Structure 1
């Protein structure tokens, strides 16, 4: 069975948290993977959209190369919520998909 390989990673301003990692996935989903192209529960899609928007606040858009406005506590909360999202995505997609966590 062929596996769709995805990378789980946030990129500020992109609106994306999943990226194709193999040709099979790129051919079906493109390189940046839009949530609408996946068969996931609406609640998981909403969680992903909320976390993507939240991640955008981790950057100072007036000084993008500067330090993050987030505290260490905010970063830890985000990491925990991102781990929960990754688990939910893996549960929704399960068979046929492999998602590599690159959020560290």
Structure 2
């Protein structure tokens, strides 16, 4: 019974970390959760109790929050790439304007 409460507590901590953007803490929490699952992997009663306390809904919440964070990070990466391309284009364009005075007529 202690593992069930601990598992639920860790799951709620994961959800809170995702909501607060504390990504660096997630790995440790997921490892703790995985350790509990490995200890109880053959325990049918554990699985039934987990379903009864609503872990499936909490796991869906985690999945949705992870997907939202992934989308947010992908958008940030795209913005950064666009900024880099824009800066490089601007620099290259200015260099061509400077070289116009060196051209032979």
TM-score scaled to structure 1, two decimals? 0.33
Question: As a proportion of its length, which structure holds more strand?
Answer: 1
TM-score by length of 2: 0.33
Higher Cα Rg: structure 1 or 2?
2
Determine which structure has the larger helix proportion and give its number. 2
